[in-house]
Structure 1
Amino acid sequence: MGLISLIWGVVAMVWMVIALIPLLGWGNWFLIPFAAIGAVIAAIGIGLTSPEKRGRAKAGLVLNGIVIIVGIVRLSLGGGII
């Protein structure tokens, strides 16, 4: 689960960088739910693995959390969220 959430977070981070390009901000509407699913996978991974093997899941949770926050800020600045 940890590796899946880490890869999911990296894909979301690349998508976030692409969505920062002007006229591609509509990608944030799909990016936020995508990253939220990755965060849920990471949370499940943290809950199911032993304490010494939680590093990948924690990294995936952090990456997906950053992507969600940046996506919400980007939408609010661009007028996507009223």
Structure 2
Amino acid sequence: MQQDKHPDYHPVVFRDRAAGYAFLTRSTATSGETIEWDDGETYPVVDVEISAESHPFYTGKARAVDTEGRVARFERRYGGDQR
């Protein structure tokens, strides 16, 4: 890599407050806050609103849109087939 061209890539802890979950990875993200990790080292911590631990799609709590019910309600309301 060329010097002074790429951002600093370092270990960072991402913490999902909604799920109470944190994970250590490498990133270019920075933060003024730090956290002591399980290995005894101190790393910058970045709080995120949502992660795979709390996202409805990944947790299986996603709501399916009831399109069939909406179509039936529309047909009842406006008389179905009126060509």
Same fold (TM over 0.5): no
Greater relative contact order (Cα < 8 A, sep 6+): 1
Larger Rg: 2
Normalising by the residue count of structure 2, what TM-score does the alignment of the two structures yield? 0.23
Q: Which has the higher strand share?
A: 2
Normalising by the residue count of structure 1, what TM-score does the alignment of the two structures yield? 0.24
Q: Which has the higher helix share?
A: 1
